[in-house]
Amino acid sequence: MALPSHLFLFLLLLSGCKIGSATVFTIENRCSYTVWPATLSGNGVATLGDGGFSLAPGSSRQLTAPSGWSGRFWARTSCNFDSSGNGQCATGDCGRLQCNSGGAPPVTLAEFTLGTPSNSKDFYDVSLVDGYNVKMGVKATGGTGDCQHAGCVADLNASCPSELQVRNGASVVACKSACAAFNTAEFCCTGDHSTPATCGPTQYSEMFKHACPTAYSYAYDDASSTCTCSGSDYLITFCPPQ
Protein backbone atom coordinates (compact mmCIF):
# COMPACT_ATOMS: atom_id res chain seq x y z
CA MET A 1 0.00 0.00 0.00
CA ALA A 2 1.35 3.42 -0.95
CA LEU A 3 2.22 5.81 1.86
CA PRO A 4 0.35 9.11 2.09
CA SER A 5 2.44 11.88 0.54
CA HIS A 6 2.86 13.79 3.82
CA LEU A 7 4.08 10.64 5.60
CA PHE A 8 6.53 9.84 2.79
CA LEU A 9 7.93 13.36 3.07
CA PHE A 10 8.28 13.00 6.84
CA LEU A 11 10.14 9.70 6.49
CA LEU A 12 12.51 11.25 3.95
CA LEU A 13 13.31 14.02 6.38
CA LEU A 14 13.97 11.52 9.17
CA SER A 15 16.30 9.53 6.93
CA GLY A 16 18.36 12.62 6.10
CA CYS A 17 17.69 12.40 2.38
CA LYS A 18 17.88 15.61 0.38
CA ILE A 19 14.55 16.54 -1.16
CA GLY A 20 14.68 18.12 -4.58
CA SER A 21 17.90 19.73 -5.70
CA ALA A 22 18.30 22.56 -3.16
CA THR A 23 21.70 22.89 -1.49
CA VAL A 24 22.08 24.05 2.12
CA PHE A 25 25.06 26.21 3.04
CA THR A 26 25.83 26.42 6.75
CA ILE A 27 27.87 29.55 7.50
CA GLU A 28 29.78 29.20 10.78
CA ASN A 29 31.86 31.81 12.64
CA ARG A 30 34.63 30.31 14.77
CA CYS A 31 36.60 33.54 14.92
CA SER A 32 37.00 35.27 18.27
CA TYR A 33 35.29 38.35 16.81
CA THR A 34 32.12 39.17 14.88
CA VAL A 35 32.26 38.80 11.11
CA TRP A 36 29.77 40.05 8.55
CA PRO A 37 29.40 37.30 5.92
CA ALA A 38 28.48 38.52 2.45
CA THR A 39 27.08 36.68 -0.55
CA LEU A 40 26.92 37.50 -4.23
CA SER A 41 25.18 35.56 -6.98
CA GLY A 42 27.19 35.17 -10.14
CA ASN A 43 24.26 34.26 -12.37
CA GLY A 44 21.29 36.15 -10.95
CA VAL A 45 19.48 32.95 -9.92
CA ALA A 46 19.02 33.91 -6.25
CA THR A 47 20.38 36.23 -3.56
CA LEU A 48 21.32 34.25 -0.47
CA GLY A 49 21.02 35.74 3.01
CA ASP A 50 19.83 39.05 1.51
CA GLY A 51 23.43 39.68 0.45
CA GLY A 52 24.93 39.97 3.92
CA PHE A 53 24.39 39.76 7.67
CA SER A 54 26.15 39.82 11.03
CA LEU A 55 27.47 36.62 12.64
CA ALA A 56 28.67 36.65 16.24
CA PRO A 57 31.49 34.37 17.47
CA GLY A 58 30.30 30.78 17.84
CA SER A 59 27.09 31.28 15.84
CA SER A 60 25.95 29.95 12.48
CA ARG A 61 23.28 30.49 9.85
CA GLN A 62 21.87 28.29 7.10
CA LEU A 63 21.16 29.49 3.58
CA THR A 64 19.43 27.46 0.86
CA ALA A 65 20.47 27.76 -2.79
CA PRO A 66 18.50 26.44 -5.77
CA SER A 67 19.83 24.09 -8.41
CA GLY A 68 22.29 25.76 -10.77
CA TRP A 69 23.18 28.61 -8.42
CA SER A 70 26.64 30.10 -8.70
CA GLY A 71 28.23 32.73 -6.52
CA ARG A 72 30.63 33.55 -3.75
CA PHE A 73 30.86 33.99 0.01
CA TRP A 74 33.30 36.09 2.00
CA ALA A 75 33.77 37.57 5.46
CA ARG A 76 33.87 41.27 6.27
CA THR A 77 35.61 42.51 9.40
CA SER A 78 35.38 45.54 11.71
CA CYS A 79 32.12 46.82 10.20
CA ASN A 80 29.88 49.68 11.26
CA PHE A 81 26.44 50.17 9.71
CA ASP A 82 23.70 52.71 10.33
CA SER A 83 20.00 51.96 10.70
CA SER A 84 19.61 52.01 6.91
CA GLY A 85 22.32 49.41 6.42
CA ASN A 86 24.89 51.84 5.04
CA GLY A 87 28.43 51.74 6.39
CA GLN A 88 31.95 50.50 5.99
CA CYS A 89 34.13 47.53 6.89
CA ALA A 90 37.89 47.36 7.38
CA THR A 91 38.08 44.38 4.97
CA GLY A 92 35.75 42.91 2.34
CA ASP A 93 33.70 46.10 2.21
CA CYS A 94 30.81 46.58 -0.22
CA GLY A 95 29.38 49.78 1.30
CA ARG A 96 26.26 48.15 2.71
CA LEU A 97 25.19 45.48 5.18
CA GLN A 98 23.39 43.67 2.34
CA CYS A 99 25.82 43.57 -0.58
CA ASN A 100 24.78 43.89 -4.20
CA SER A 101 28.38 43.98 -5.44
CA GLY A 102 31.60 42.15 -4.65
CA GLY A 103 33.77 42.84 -1.64
CA ALA A 104 36.77 45.14 -1.96
CA PRO A 105 40.03 43.17 -2.15
CA PRO A 106 41.96 41.80 -0.43
CA VAL A 107 39.45 39.16 0.63
CA THR A 108 39.34 35.37 1.01
CA LEU A 109 36.60 33.94 -1.22
CA ALA A 110 34.59 30.71 -1.31
CA GLU A 111 33.27 30.21 -4.85
CA PHE A 112 30.58 27.75 -5.99
CA THR A 113 28.84 26.59 -9.14
CA LEU A 114 26.11 24.13 -8.18
CA GLY A 115 24.96 21.25 -10.34
CA THR A 116 21.68 20.97 -12.21
CA PRO A 117 19.27 18.04 -12.65
CA SER A 118 21.04 17.18 -15.91
CA ASN A 119 24.56 17.49 -14.43
CA SER A 120 24.63 17.04 -10.67
CA LYS A 121 28.31 17.86 -10.14
CA ASP A 122 29.11 20.93 -8.01
CA PHE A 123 32.35 22.87 -8.47
CA TYR A 124 33.82 24.87 -5.60
CA ASP A 125 37.04 26.41 -4.35
CA VAL A 126 38.57 28.78 -1.82
CA SER A 127 40.43 31.55 -3.63
CA LEU A 128 43.28 33.85 -2.62
CA VAL A 129 43.46 35.39 -6.11
CA ASP A 130 41.92 38.57 -4.65
CA GLY A 131 44.14 38.35 -1.56
CA TYR A 132 43.36 37.23 1.99
CA ASN A 133 41.60 38.65 5.02
CA VAL A 134 40.41 35.74 7.23
CA LYS A 135 40.93 31.99 7.48
CA MET A 136 38.23 29.96 5.72
CA GLY A 137 37.32 26.32 5.21
CA VAL A 138 34.72 24.58 3.02
CA LYS A 139 33.58 21.05 3.86
CA ALA A 140 31.17 19.00 1.74
CA THR A 141 28.63 16.97 3.74
CA GLY A 142 26.54 14.06 2.51
CA GLY A 143 27.65 14.13 -1.10
CA THR A 144 29.27 11.63 -3.44
CA GLY A 145 32.45 11.88 -5.50
CA ASP A 146 35.76 13.44 -4.53
CA CYS A 147 34.18 16.03 -2.19
CA GLN A 148 37.55 17.43 -1.10
CA HIS A 149 38.06 19.90 1.71
CA ALA A 150 38.97 23.36 0.42
CA GLY A 151 40.34 26.21 2.41
CA CYS A 152 43.04 28.37 3.88
CA VAL A 153 43.46 27.71 7.59
CA ALA A 154 46.82 29.50 7.94
CA ASP A 155 47.02 33.05 9.31
CA LEU A 156 48.48 34.79 6.25
CA ASN A 157 48.15 38.20 7.91
CA ALA A 158 50.83 37.15 10.39
CA SER A 159 53.29 36.20 7.63
CA CYS A 160 52.29 38.76 4.97
CA PRO A 161 55.26 40.58 3.38
CA SER A 162 55.32 44.29 4.16
CA GLU A 163 54.71 45.24 0.51
CA LEU A 164 51.39 43.32 0.54
CA GLN A 165 50.14 44.32 3.98
CA VAL A 166 46.89 46.20 4.63
CA ARG A 167 46.90 47.83 8.04
CA ASN A 168 44.24 49.18 10.37
CA GLY A 169 46.31 51.16 12.84
CA ALA A 170 49.08 48.91 14.10
CA SER A 171 47.37 45.68 13.03
CA VAL A 172 47.72 43.83 9.73
CA VAL A 173 44.11 43.10 8.76
CA ALA A 174 44.58 41.72 5.23
CA CYS A 175 47.22 40.60 2.74
CA LYS A 176 47.01 41.87 -0.85
CA SER A 177 47.53 39.76 -3.92
CA ALA A 178 50.63 40.67 -5.93
CA CYS A 179 48.30 41.82 -8.73
CA ALA A 180 46.59 44.34 -6.42
CA ALA A 181 49.92 45.49 -5.00
CA PHE A 182 51.90 45.91 -8.23
CA ASN A 183 49.31 45.85 -11.08
CA THR A 184 51.62 44.27 -13.64
CA ALA A 185 50.76 41.78 -16.41
CA GLU A 186 53.02 39.17 -14.85
CA PHE A 187 51.17 39.21 -11.54
CA CYS A 188 47.68 39.84 -12.96
CA CYS A 189 47.84 37.28 -15.83
CA THR A 190 46.94 39.93 -18.40
CA GLY A 191 48.44 41.17 -21.67
CA ASP A 192 51.39 39.01 -22.71
CA HIS A 193 50.77 36.85 -19.63
CA SER A 194 47.08 36.11 -20.25
CA THR A 195 47.29 32.35 -20.82
CA PRO A 196 48.20 29.40 -18.59
CA ALA A 197 51.37 28.93 -20.64
CA THR A 198 52.57 32.51 -20.07
CA CYS A 199 51.32 33.14 -16.53
CA GLY A 200 52.86 30.82 -13.98
CA PRO A 201 53.37 30.95 -10.23
CA THR A 202 55.34 33.82 -8.72
CA GLN A 203 57.18 34.14 -5.42
CA TYR A 204 54.03 35.63 -3.91
CA SER A 205 51.56 33.04 -5.20
CA GLU A 206 53.98 30.29 -4.12
CA MET A 207 54.01 31.79 -0.62
CA PHE A 208 50.19 31.61 -0.56
CA LYS A 209 50.24 28.06 -1.97
CA HIS A 210 52.77 26.82 0.55
CA ALA A 211 50.65 28.16 3.42
CA CYS A 212 47.32 27.02 1.95
CA PRO A 213 47.84 24.08 -0.46
CA THR A 214 44.12 23.58 -1.29
CA ALA A 215 43.38 27.24 -2.10
CA TYR A 216 43.66 29.04 -5.43
CA SER A 217 46.90 31.04 -5.27
CA TYR A 218 46.76 32.74 -8.69
CA ALA A 219 44.48 32.86 -11.74
CA TYR A 220 45.59 29.60 -13.40
CA ASP A 221 46.08 27.49 -10.28
CA ASP A 222 43.28 25.09 -11.32
CA ALA A 223 44.76 21.62 -11.02
CA SER A 224 45.11 21.46 -7.24
CA SER A 225 42.43 23.99 -6.27
CA THR A 226 39.09 23.17 -7.96
CA CYS A 227 36.97 20.70 -5.99
CA THR A 228 33.94 18.68 -7.13
CA CYS A 229 31.09 16.87 -5.38
CA SER A 230 27.53 15.74 -6.20
CA GLY A 231 24.42 15.99 -4.04
CA SER A 232 26.19 17.70 -1.15
CA ASP A 233 25.44 20.39 1.39
CA TYR A 234 28.35 22.59 2.49
CA LEU A 235 29.78 23.89 5.75
CA ILE A 236 31.65 27.18 5.33
CA THR A 237 33.70 28.05 8.40
CA PHE A 238 35.41 31.33 9.12
CA CYS A 239 38.54 30.82 11.27
CA PRO A 240 38.46 26.99 11.23
CA PRO A 241 40.93 25.31 13.60
CA GLN A 242 44.24 24.25 12.10
The answer on pLDDT for 161 being more than 70 is yes
120: in domain: yes
The answer on pLDDT for 4 being more than 90 is no
pLDDT tens digit sequence for 45-62: 889 999 999 999 999 999
Q: How many domains in the chain?
A: 1
The answer on pLDDT for 10 being more than 50 is no
122: in domain: yes
Contacts for 112-115: CB closer than 8 Å, 24+ residues apart: 112/65, 112/69, 112/70, 112/71, 112/72, 112/73, 112/234, 113/42, 113/70, 114/23, 114/65, 114/66, 114/67, 114/68, 114/69, 114/70, 115/21, 115/67, 115/68, 115/230
16: in domain: no
pLDDT tens digit sequence for 176-214: 999 999 999 999 999 999 999 999 999 999 999 999 999
pLDDT at site 41: 95
Average pLDDT over residues 14-32: 75
Share of the chain above pLDDT 70, in %: 92
pLDDT class of 8 with cuts at 50, 70, 90: very low
State the residue range of the domain holding 31.
Answer: 21-238
147: in domain: yes
185: in domain: yes
The answer on pLDDT for 102 being more than 80 is yes
**Residue 200 belongs to a domain with what CATH number?**
2.60.110.10
